[in-house]
Structure 1
Amino acid sequence: MQFGIFGVGDVARDPVSGRTPSEHDRIKAVVEYAKLAEEVGLDVFAIGEHHNPPFVPSSPTTLLGYVAARTERILLSTSTTLITTNDPVKIAEDYAMLQHLADGRVDLMMGRGNTGPVYPWFGQDIRDGIALAVEKYALLRRLWREDVVDWSGKFRTPLQSFTSTPRPLEGTPPFVWHASIRSPEIAEQAAYYGDGFFHNNLFWPKEHIQRLVGLYRRRFEHYGHGPADQAIVGLAAHLFVRKNSQEAIREFRPYFDNSQAYGHGPSLEDTMAQTAVLVGSPQQVIDRVLTYREYAGGDYQRQLFNVDGIGVPHKTVLQQIEMLGEIVPVLRKEFAVGRPAHVPGAPTHASLQAAARAQVTSHSEEAAR
């Protein structure tokens, strides 16, 4: 099972100090978080894509390419890549290039985004969101898997004898997670292709997540990719941890209450009870995360934590990552208990290559019979 951190790169005022970091400060801080995540033994670092204030990561591949040059082991991902407003040709090229630079340490999370005005900025209509996601991803898969592509569709000009370059590293495209918090069509899309499904469950109760992840699992099996418990599932949580729960809640409360995402709604306590906002001691965090098997409908493959943003100061974020480095080994051990042997781990470049080689061998053996 993979554990890591993710962020959206928001520039927010610290309600305690009154300070608002600059865009430059936030970009440099995100790089530092990625490096520290690797140092403390986390598996994944993911950054979102946004094209509007107060967010800075408008070019996640640029940022991740920079991080790739300064890390050696950690897997680099997105949270998310906007399949709706990006050109599939550019996605194919950018992430294949990043894959080469990072020696395969790359996957990506496809999403429609949650900011309506972005659509017209890139010449699209938000009312076409699902159709855009379906058509553009179908093209992206072909661009990565076929050396020469002829294609026509509704949302871009046709392609004739087109080859996307560079080709995926060693002929193996990056693994794709489809991210959604409310759309059964996206769960269906992930299941159809046998890709991963990631639910960013920060704002939703358990029952909602169970329904959507359960749909994905059932449809994964329906399409012949394996039994439902072998489907590839990822979940998210918002983390703030201190040595004891009283200290954690007291320190986090002003950030929660003044946040554009959380503030002026249900209380911190109600939100913690109903969603994946984790505020407490290390043991409380461990105990709560272990219950996420219920959210995921069984054992799952990836757990990401949001530890920065909403004005939390840089020094505090670094402390959160360090404490997460102490929590994750316990989670690894506990999640391994009783995990069925047939439930796969999270895909990596190496595991995808091994699966492809095994498939070739199987086909060769069948042909020889």
Structure 2
Amino acid sequence: MQFGIFTVGDVTTDPTTGRTPTEHERIKAMVAIARKAEEVGLDVFATGEHHNPPFVPSSPTTMLGYLAGQTEKLILSTSTTLITTNDPVKIAEDFAMLQHLADGRVDLMLGRGNTGPVYPWFGQDIRQGIPLAIENYALLHRLWREEVVDWEGQFRTPLQSFTSTPRPLDDVPPFVWHGSIRSPEIAEQAAYYGDGFFANHIFWPKEHFLRLIDFYRQRFAHYGHGTPEQAIVGLGGQVFLRPNSQDAVAEFRPYFDNAPVYGHGPSLEEFTEQTPLTVGSPQEVIDKTLTFREHFGDYQRQLFLMDHAGLPLKTVLEQLDLLGAEVIPVLRKELDAMRPATVPDGPTHQSLLAAQQTAEKSGTEEMEASRA
């Protein structure tokens, strides 16, 4: 089981002090948070991609490339790479380069984003969001697996005898998660390729995501990648921790009430009841997170959002200390003990390389047997 954090990189005023960090301060804070994640024993750090205020992570691979030199074990990922408005050729090259710099500690999550104006900013039509996602990923998938690509589609200029460089490390492409909060077409796409499906169920009740994840699992099996239980699933979550539950609620309430996304809406109590948000003690976070498996089955990756809504860096780092010391060890032990041996662990470069080598060896043995 892989545990980590993801950031959306929002620049939000701290409602308790009235201070708004600069973009420079926020970017440096994200780096400090990633380094802290490794220090406390987390497995993954993921950053979003946004091209509009009040967000700063417009160039995820730049940040992750810098973090590759600042960390040793952390898997560096994205919580959104815009497959609709980024050129798939550039995605292929950027993430292969990042793979080499990070010695394979790289994967990515593809998504369509939630900001409508980004489409015309990059010369695309939001009404073509799903077709763009499908066509662009079909090309990206080939670019990482074929030395020379001839290609023609609807949304970009054709490619003739094109080779994406550098080639993926060890000829193993980065693992791809397809993120979606509402689109069965994206779950179908993830299932078709045997990729991971990430349900960032931080805003809506679990029933909505139960349908999406169950659909993905069934289609994963339909395409012959394994049983439904062996499908690769990731989940989002939100937590705010203090040793004492009452202290956590009192401290987080002003941040929740004024958050850009869900502030001035349902109460904190209503939101925690209906969504994965947990505000309380380490044990409360453990108890609620364990219910995710009850709802969605065994899964491979759990990412928490912890640095949003104007929380100061000092507070976020304190949260990570508690998460790493008191929450993750228990969750890791409990969830690993419950996961059947037939259900795979979270994908890494090493596990993908081993699987590729096994498949190549098996293919060689079958060829030799057919000649005998």
Q: TM-score, normalised by structure 1?
A: 0.99
Match of 1:305? 304
User: What letter matches 2:249 in structure 1?
Assistant: I
Structure 1 counterpart SS, 2:235: strand
Distance 2:265 2:188 in 1: 31
Match of 1:315? 314
Structure 2 counterpart SS, 1:41: coil
Structure 2 counterpart SS, 1:145: coil
Match of 2:347? 347
Match of 1:155? 155
Match of 2:240? 240
Distance 1:135 1:349 in 2: 25
Distance 2:200 2:112 in 1: 13
List 4+ stretches of structure 1 deviating above 4 A. none
Q: Unpaired runs of 5+ in structure 1? A: none
User: What letter matches 2:169 in structure 1?
Assistant: L
Distance 2:28 2:13 in 1: 17
Distance 2:283 2:312 in 1: 24
User: What letter matches 1:180 in structure 2?
Assistant: S
Structure 2 counterpart SS, 1:197: strand
Distance 1:367 1:170 in 2: 23
Using the aligned pairs only, state the percent identity. 71
Structure 1 counterpart SS, 2:239: strand
Segment drifting more, 25-34 vs 256-265: 256-265
Kept in 2: contact 1:191–1:216 (CA 8 A): yes
Structure 1 counterpart SS, 2:279: strand
Distance 1:4 1:278 in 2: 16
Match of 1:129? 129
Match of 1:78? 78
Distance 1:88 1:353 in 2: 23
Match of 1:207? 207
Structure 1 counterpart SS, 2:6: strand
Structure 2 counterpart SS, 1:303: strand
1:174-323 matches, within 5 Å, as 174-296=174-296, 298-323=297-322
Match of 1:39? 39
Deviations 1:2-57 (A, max 9, x none): 00010010000000011000000000000000111001100000000000000000
Structure 2 counterpart SS, 1:167: coil
Distance 1:90 1:310 in 2: 32
Structure 2 counterpart SS, 1:237: coil
Match of 1:117? 117
Cα RMSD for the two superposed structures: 0.6
Structure 2 counterpart SS, 1:64: helix
Kept in 2: contact 1:36–1:318 (CA 8 A): yes
Deviations 1:97-122 (A, max 9, x none): 00000000000000000000000000
Q: How many residues are treated as equivalent by the alignment?
A: 368
Question: Residue 265 of structure 1: CA displacement?
Answer: 1.3
Distance 1:173 1:238 in 2: 30
Distance 1:285 1:251 in 2: 16
Question: Residue 295 of structure 1: CA displacement?
Answer: 3.3
Distance 2:86 2:231 in 1: 27
Structure 2 counterpart SS, 1:129: helix
Distance 2:338 2:214 in 1: 20
Question: Residue 247 of structure 1: CA displacement?
Answer: 0.7
Structure 2 counterpart SS, 1:291: helix
Deviations 1:117-148 (A, max 9, x none): 00000000111000000000000000000000
User: What letter matches 1:300 in structure 2?
Assistant: Y
Question: Residue 338 of structure 1: CA displacement?
Answer: 2.5
Q: TM-score, normalised by structure 2?
A: 0.98
Structure 1 counterpart SS, 2:236: strand
Question: Residue 294 of structure 1: CA displacement?
Answer: 2.9
User: What letter matches 2:292 in structure 1?
Assistant: Y
Distance 1:365 1:226 in 2: 22
Kept in 2: contact 1:210–1:294 (CA 8 A): no
Distance 2:189 2:295 in 1: 20
Distance 1:273 1:295 in 2: 15
User: What letter matches 1:69 in structure 2?
Assistant: G
Kept in 2: contact 1:6–1:47 (CA 8 A): yes
User: What letter matches 1:317 in structure 2?
Assistant: V
